[in-house]
A and B are shown apart, each in its own frame.
Chain A
Amino acid sequence: MNKTFIPARAIIREIIRENDQISTFRLELIDKTKPFSFLPGQFLMVSVPHCGEAAISISSSPDALPLIDLSIRRAGELTTAIHSMEKGARLGLRGPFGKAFPVEKFSGRDLLFVAGGIGLAPLKSVIDHCLFQSGLDDDAVSGIRLLYGSRSPSDIAFTGTIGLWREQGIDVRLTVDEKDEHWTDHVGLVTELLEDITLDSNSISLICGPPVMIRSVIAKLTEMGCDDTNIFTTLERHMKCGMGLCGHCHLDGRLVCLDGPVFSVSELNTMDVMELSR
């Protein structure tokens, strides 16, 4: 796709309500003459009429192209405007940008996904891609487990997707910070779910969620003997261009938009990442 500030046009084909705050917008590019592809973990700069742009990670698998899912939490002006849009409305897209998860190295590996809230969005792209690949024996991963934390049972997003994943044999474990009268599952931090998990040298962990969660999950995994090179997470930064020019996402000599947003913990250990060191 282009590397200018002029976006390609896209149309909203479907809107899936994930919870009160999060919806998935299923998009399709209008101009099909230019090739478009991406890898799980990459993001797009999304233009909304009169609101400008925001960096949003892709939550669907590349295998679902030409459809592209963006799962968006209502957080500011632009995301609120997207939430007020309807099927058939137009958006602009630039990208894809950023370094993806190293999915090419996942065949035969045991994947552990740990997510909090909207953090499941970029990981969902990886999970769906791995499930698609599992149809092709050579590239199949050996197993997928997901630990997913939400604030309360009504905050759990992607419930439809999680149901499908369970049907396909993914071991999904949920936890909430605060339960309601119907909740019979785990209550507490997502790190507590790690207590029942066994990991070995074949395991790869992928984490995404609020910084405080990422920090404690990394600490716990390290304590469990997980190698730094086998833990991946994504960093979130304010971005204005996505292509290494605007300077907003500069982080200790790196640019999150080019060198990230996906980083291995071994890379992060050489950087001064404030939200993870506090």
Chain B
Amino acid sequence: MIDLKELILPKDNLIPLLRKLSKDARLVAPVKNDHGDTLFTAISDLDTTEIDLANQPQASLKPFFLPQQETLAHYQISGDTYQFTAPKAAEDTIFFGVRSCDLTALLYMDLIFSKPAKDTSYYDRRSHSLIITLGCNQPFANCFCEATNSGPYLEYGYGLQFIDLGDRYYVSAGRGKGADLLKKWGYFFCEVQEEDQRIRYQLFLEARGQFNRNIQLAHACHKLQKEEVPEEIWEQLAERCYDCGGCAYVCPTCTCFSVDDKPQSRDSGIRVRSWDACTSGGFTRMAGGHNPVDRSRHALKRRFLHKLKYDFASHGKASCTGCGRCVDICFGGVDITRFIDLLTRQENP
């Protein structure tokens, strides 16, 4: 526990440090593209690419660990053979500018993909990764990580955590790779002064005071352990769900997937894992057409109960990290915060 280390990185040293780091590993950070969308992007040239730390990346880290489509295996068929081979191993990657909510989501994914056995491809990428987070001094419009206990700053889980103090970053190292990195590149950093600690704490308090929304998430989780959700709520939500799967796709903790074999030629093909969403009708439909879920009433039931009821019961924590992306994307207005509001409002009319 004692290997936790804290240092100051002057902002002028950020790019030189990242340049060093990107010599040994792929560097991924938020970059604004030509359409104005900020997305985590692999950066090959730090001189021509500008890292965007002002906006929330529209997608989480999920695609880098559970890609929207990934090849799990190649297969060959010929005469007597029907043989599968594994894909090539992941490359070392450093993620920079990751928000607290998205790292919390990754820690949740670690849990999901380790039970009952480790998922080979996920853990291959995970073991080749180092995450550098940036604490949020200013929550974005729909964020509610305070309610989900996953921000604005983190206590653990990161390789390094950066806090923006204006002209410098307050850097905390987690165990292992993060601490090693500080040791290796120590000359970019300077010692923490008492003043830095004071400002950091002040910024933390201010950040916590800036959330626009008061989401009764913990209350909802406890309530769900004890009571059934009134059918009217499910029906009200189902009526405005358009089955687009957007919420599940942008959600950093929605990890449900499908596996399909795709022929590439007459005698070869690939086994592909792709994102799936429990909100869609085909998710539970079986061969022959029988579907044990009535989508017209329960389109969103699985998703919300999984995150707020079952995960809370089994891990002591809901698997919503308050990133607010589903709020941004749902055009039916039936995101998780609407559900929480409907559920908790009943008590205080």
Contacts and interface: CB of A to CB of B under 8 A. Distances in A.
A246 B72 CA distance: 14
Contacts of A91: 82
B284 A50 contact: no
Interface in B52-105: 72-73, 75, 77, 80-86
30 contacts: A3-B116, A3-B117, A4-B86, A4-B120, A6-B72, A6-B73, A6-B84, A7-B84, A9-B82, A51-B261, A52-B261, A75-B287, A90-B81, A91-B82, A92-B82, A237-B286, A238-B283, A241-B259, A243-B117, A244-B115, A245-B113, A245-B119, A245-B255, A245-B257, A248-B256, A248-B284, A258-B116, A273-B292, A274-B293, A275-B290
A54 interface: yes
Contacts of A246: 256-259, 276
Interface string B247-266: 00000000111111101000
Given A92-B82, A274-B294, A247 B257 contact: yes
Contacts of B245: none
B284 A75 contact: no
Contacts of B259: 5, 52-53, 240-241, 246
A211 B293 CA distance: 13
Contacts of A47: 82, 84, 261
Nearest to A256: B292
Interface string A220-264: 000000000000000011101101111110100100001000000
Interface in A67-85: 75-79
B230 to A, nearest CB: 14
Nearest to B311: A253
A49 interface: yes
A240 B257 contact: yes
A260 to B, nearest CB: 13
A240 B73 CA distance: 15
Contacts, number: 109
Contacts of B83: 9
B316 interface: no
Contact of A250 (B84, B273, B306): B306
A179 B72 CA distance: 49
Contacts of B77: 49-50, 90
A91 B73 CA distance: 15
A75 B313 contact: no
Interface residues of B, number: 49
Given A6-B85, A241-B259, 15 more contacts: A6-B84, A9-B83, A47-B261, A79-B287, A90-B80, A91-B82, A92-B84, A240-B258, A243-B117, A245-B113, A247-B306, A250-B302, A250-B306, A253-B310, A253-B314
Interface in B138-189: none
A244 B84 CA distance: 22
Contacts of A54: 287
Contacts of A6: 72-73, 84-86
B21 interface: no
B273 A5 contact: yes
A5 B73 contact: yes
B256 A237 contact: no
Given A5-B73, A52-B261, A253-B309, A245 B112 contact: yes
Interface string A51-66: 1111000000000000
Nearest to A238: B286
A76 B258 contact: no
Interface of B: 72-73, 75, 77, 80-86, 112-113, 115-120, 255-261, 263, 269, 271, 273, 276, 278, 283-288, 290, 292-294, 302, 305-306, 309-310, 313-314
Given A90-B80, A250-B302, A275 B260 contact: no
Interface in A1-29: 3-7, 9
B260 to A, nearest CB: 5
B255 A247 contact: yes
Top 9 A-B residue pairs of the complex, sorted by shortest distance between their CB atoms: A247-B256, A76-B287, A3-B117, A90-B82, A52-B261, A75-B287, A253-B310, A5-B72, A75-B288
Contacts of B119: 245
Given A90-B81, A243-B116, A50 B269 contact: yes
B112 A274 contact: no
A275 B300 CA distance: 18
Nearest to A49: B77
A146 to B, nearest CB: 24
A140 B141 CA distance: 67
Nearest to A45: B259
A238 to B, nearest CB: 5
A5 B259 CA distance: 9
Contacts of B86: 4, 6
Contacts of A244: 115-116
Contacts of B288: 75-76
A43 to B, nearest CB: 14
B124 to A, nearest CB: 11
A248 B276 CA distance: 9
A240 B310 CA distance: 21
Contacts of B112: 245
Contacts of A245: 112-113, 119, 255, 257
